[in-house]
Amino acid sequence: RSGDTFTKLADPATLPTGNSQGCAFDSTGTYLAVTYGLSPYITIYKRSGDTFTKLADPATLPTGDGRGCAFDPTGTYLAVAHHNSPYITIYKQSGDTFTKLADPSTLPTGNSQGCAFDPTGTYLAVAHSDSPYITIYKRSGDTFTKLADPATLPTGNSQGCAFDSTGTYLAVTYGLSPYITIYKRSGDTFTKL
């Protein structure tokens, strides 16, 4: 970008292998993750100037169609929402290496479509296809523990989610009316507005 003009960069030398579904930059703009529908389901690039170079694949890959991804604000954690159990794969970054963490003890209940960290990196929300449609984790160190479900859930297959910049509000989109649910967080409790 230069002002209001966006000029296409040269393609990376190594491209994703399938239909791309999501992408996310880390907070420094150094790393770009791309999710897609064919193995390895995730490609991570490192930026140097205007050049994006593919890193080695993580040793443990997502188990299915990569749908969405999110870095935490520190760039330490990368979450990948995907089809097939465990539905969410979380990596911890050290330099250019992304190492899969142990799965949360409670997993999303269906194919995950999107995920989002709050601005502190404490909460991770995962939007997925089966009730309760949204699963929210609280991070302590490298452990992600599922919180109690909100009292009022989305009404259908959730497609995406996002926190506001303060971490107070969480929006969830899905395929049935009212199509969007907005929660307000107080401590570890998310209450539908």
- Indicate the SS3 state at residue 190: strand
Q: What is the DSSP letter of 169?
A: E
Give exposure, 109-132, as e/b (b: 16+ Cβ within 10 Å).
Answer: ebbbbbbbbbeebebbbbbbbeee
Q: Give the predicted TM-score (pTM) of the model.
A: 0.97
Give 79-119 pLDDT, tens digit per residue: 999 999 999 999 999 999 999 999 999 999 999 999 999 99
